[in-house]
Structure 1
Amino acid sequence: MDSNSSDIVHEFLPLFRIYKDGRVERLMGTETIPPSTDPHTGVQSKDIIVSTENNLSARLFLPKLRSPHQRLPLLIYIHGGAFSVASPFSPIYHRYLTSLVNEANVIAVSVQYRRAPEHPLPTAYDDTWEAIKWAASHVKGNGPEPWLNDHVDFQRVFLAGDSAGANIAHNSAMKVGVDGLDAVRIHGLVLVHPFFMNNEPDKLIEFIFPSSSGCNDPRMNPVSAGAELAQLGCSKVLVFVAGKDWLKDRGCSYYEALKKSGWSGTAQVVETEGEDHAFHLFNPACEKAKDLMKHVASFLNQE
Structure 2
Amino acid sequence: MDYTNNTVTYTYKDDDISENFYFFNVLKDGRVHVLAPDTPDAVKIPPSDDVTTGVKIKDISINDDVSARVFLPPSRDGGGEKVPVFLYVHGGAFCMGSAFSVEYTRFLSTISKECGVISVSVEYGLFPTRLIPACYEDCWFALQWLASHGDLNFNEGQDPWIKDHADLTRIFVGGDSAGGNICHTLATRAGKLALPGRAKVEGMILIHPYFHENDRIWLYMCPTNDGPQDPRMKPAAEDLANLGCDRVLVFIGEKDFLRDAGKMYVKELSKSGWKGSVELMENLDKEHCFYLGNYLDEEAIAINERIKLFIRRGKANM
Q: TM-score, normalised by structure 1?
A: 0.91
Contact 2:241 2:269 in 1 (8 A): yes
Aligned partner (choices 289, 311, 314) of residue 278 of structure 1:
289
Task: State how 1:107-256 maps to structure 2 within 5 Å.
Answer: 107-140=118-151, 143=155, 144-182=158-196, 183-198=198-213, 201-222=214-235, 225-256=236-267
For 1:34, the equivalent position in structure 2 comes to 46
CA distance in 1, matches of 2:138, 2:290: 27
Query: Compared with structure 1, are the counterparts of its residues 23 and 211 closer, same or farther at alpha carbon in structure 2 (3 Å cutoff)?
Result: closer
CA distance in 2, matches of 1:26, 1:244: 23
Which structure 2 residue ranges, 5 or more long, are not aligned?
1-9
Deviation at 1:21, TM superposition (A): 7.0
Question: Aligned with 2:42: secondary structure?
Answer: coil
Contact 1:69 1:150 in 2 (8 A): no
Q: Which amino acid aligns with 2:223?
A: P
Contact 1:167 1:220 in 2 (8 A): yes
For 1:257, the equivalent position in structure 2 comes to 268
For 2:3, the equivalent position in structure 1 comes to none
Deviation at 1:10, TM superposition (A): 4.4
CA distance in 1, matches of 2:42, 2:25: 13
Query: Compared with structure 1, are the counterparts of its residues 196 and 21 closer, same or farther at alpha carbon in structure 2 (3 Å cutoff)?
Result: closer
CA distance in 2, matches of 1:5, 1:188: 45
Do structure 1's residue 56 and structure 2's residue 66 form an aligned pair?
yes
Query: Compared with structure 1, are the counterparts of its residues 171 and 139 closer, same or farther at alpha carbon in structure 2 (3 Å cutoff)?
Result: same
Which structure 1 residue ranges, 5 or more long, are not aligned?
none
1:157-206 per-position Cα deviation (integer Å, ceiling 9, x unaligned): 100000000000011000000112122110000001000013xx322112
1:245-299 per-position Cα deviation (integer Å, ceiling 9, x unaligned): 1111111111111111111101111111111110111211011100111101111
CA distance in 2, matches of 1:126, 1:228: 17
CA distance in 1, matches of 2:44, 2:63: 21
Question: Aligned with 2:172: secondary structure?
Answer: strand
Deviation at 1:213, TM superposition (A): 2.1
CA distance in 1, matches of 2:42, 2:32: 15
Deviation at 1:26, TM superposition (A): 4.4
Deviation at 1:216, TM superposition (A): 1.1
Q: TM-score, normalised by structure 2?
A: 0.87
Contact 1:197 1:215 in 2 (8 A): no
For 1:92, the equivalent position in structure 2 comes to 103
Contact 2:32 2:128 in 1 (8 A): no
Question: Aligned with 1:40: secondary structure?
Answer: coil
Contact 1:82 1:164 in 2 (8 A): yes
Question: Aligned with 1:300: secondary structure?
Answer: helix
CA distance in 2, matches of 1:23, 1:240: 32
CA distance in 2, matches of 1:112, 1:10: 28
RMSD of aligned C-alpha atoms? 1.9
Contact 1:140 1:149 in 2 (8 A): no
Deviation at 1:88, TM superposition (A): 0.3
CA distance in 2, matches of 1:170, 1:209: 17
Contact 2:187 2:204 in 1 (8 A): yes
The percentage of counterpart residues that share the same residue type is 39
Aligned partner (choices 23, 31, 43) of residue 22 of structure 1:
31
Query: Compared with structure 1, are the counterparts of its residues 35 and 11 closer, same or farther at alpha carbon in structure 2 (3 Å cutoff)?
Result: farther
CA distance in 1, matches of 2:256, 2:34: 27
Aligned partner (choices 76, 93, 98) of residue 87 of structure 2:
76
Query: Compared with structure 1, are the counterparts of its residues 262 and 57 closer, same or farther at alpha carbon in structure 2 (3 Å cutoff)?
Result: same
Deviation at 1:11, TM superposition (A): 3.9
